[in-house]
Every structure is written in C-alpha cells, then in structure tokens.
Amino acid sequence: MEFAYDNLNHRSPTLLGRTLKATLPGVRLVAAQTRPYAAWWRAQNLETLAERDPAPLWVVLGDSMSQGIGASSVQGGWVPRAQVALRDRGLDTRVLNLSFSGARTADVLERQLPALRDAAVEPDVVTLLIGSNDLLRRSLRAELLDRSRELLDALPHGTLVATTPGYGRLGEVATLVKAHPALVPVPLSFGRGEVAQDRFHPDDRAYARLARTFTDPLVRAVRQGTRSFSTAGTLDHG
C-alpha cells in the first residue's frame, strides 16, 4: 500500500495568515514555497521508502523549519545541508521527512508519529524541531508544556530534540527536554538578521547555522548504533 503522507498542513489558513499574505509581498513570496517544498519532500519520502539501500535512516519530525521554508531553495534548508555534511564525514543516510509547514506540537503527536508507525520502518536517528507555531495563539501557549510532556514521552528513545534555552515558554520546554532521560537536547542559536523576506522564517545563513549545530549530534547518533532506537512509544501511541 502506498505511503499516503503528503507533508501539507490540512488546516484552513487563519484570518491573520490570509491578511499578511494579501498585504505583505515578503510573506506572500515565502508562503508560496510551501506546496512545492512539500511536494519535493513527498517525492523524496516515497523514494526513500521504495529503495533497499541499507544506509542509516534519519526520520525528521517538525514544522516549516524542517521543510526549509525561507531558504532560497529546498536544498538550502537545514536537513539537506546536514545530510551533505554527514556524507562528507563518510556517513550516507536516507531521510524520511514527516515535517510540514504550520505544524504544532499536537501535530507531531497526532499525525507525524502515527505516520512513522504507518511507514513500518526502524529509524537509526530521529530529529525534532517544533514549538514556534504553538506560540502564535494564547490557547496553544497555555497548553504547550502539557503537550510537550506528552510528546517527549512518545518520541523514540534517543531522539535529538532542538531547544531554545532561555526563550520564554520555549525555554521552559527546553528545560523539560534537558531533564528527560531518553532524549538528546540540541540547543540552537540564531544570528541577528538571519531571517527570510517574511521576517519570520530563517534564511540561508540561518539554515546553514542550524545544519552545523545538528551535524555533530547526528554523526554521534548514527555512529553509536544502527537500530539502537526504541520505537515502542511511537508504535504504541494513539
């Protein structure tokens, strides 16, 4: 049966989002990347699942940042950059990218982890970058810590989780990740002005920085043991 996951956000656009796209050219320009970038990743995912390559499998969970939205091309996102960096270290990897633009913490729990279960694969490394979209609504901010606790417990053992220590509510989530015995925190930093034309998403420089930050943890995770991940939480969730 074909893997039906499509890397698209199925929620209707918010009034604020529609207004910003209608009035700000930079927002409209970056938003126009969403469908083609999602289509590219879907094609890559299908190719990954169809091939019999024994190379380690890297599963990507998250939002638009793991789609590469804001980069000048999809290959300019942090995931393709980090994959190239791994290859330069002698580590070929296959990527299954389940992220989608606009994803929230609940979406990883309710859609991305079930998709990983449906793919019937055993990841060698899993990364998660999520949370920014949960800050855009008061109700989501209020439940972010509880949702994050639920998500962290559902992730495969050893997942590399991006964190932003000291940044308000996301800083509180970073504390949860750091204290979790089964996860590996990957603290992020961003340079001033490293944003795309919508003034929200990262630009090529920021994605290059993000890829560099993840490269060493990815190398360690891949080298420490093929099939070392426990997907029990994912397979039992939901």
Dihedral pair phi/psi, residue 35, rounded to 5°: -70, -45
∠ CA 218-221-85, rounded to 5°: 25
Start-to-end CA distance of the chain, whole Å, equals 21
Flag whether pLDDT at 22 surpasses 50: yes
- Whether 30 contacts 74, CB under 8 Å: no
pLDDT at 235 over 60: no
Q: Is the pTM of this model over 0.85?
A: yes
The total number of residues shown for the chain amounts to 238
In tens, the pLDDT along 39-53 reads: 999 999 999 999 888
Q: What pLDDT was estimated at residue 36?
A: 98
Percent of the chain at pLDDT exceeding 70:
94
Higher pLDDT, 70 or 166: 70
Q: What does the pLDDT read at residue 1?
A: 57
- Percentage of the chain beyond pLDDT 90 is 78
Per-residue pLDDT tens digits for 176-230: 999 999 999 999 988 888 999 998 899 999 999 999 999 999 999 999 864 444 4
Q: Residue with structure tokens 């439940």?
A: 143
Residue 143 has pLDDT above 60, yes or no: yes
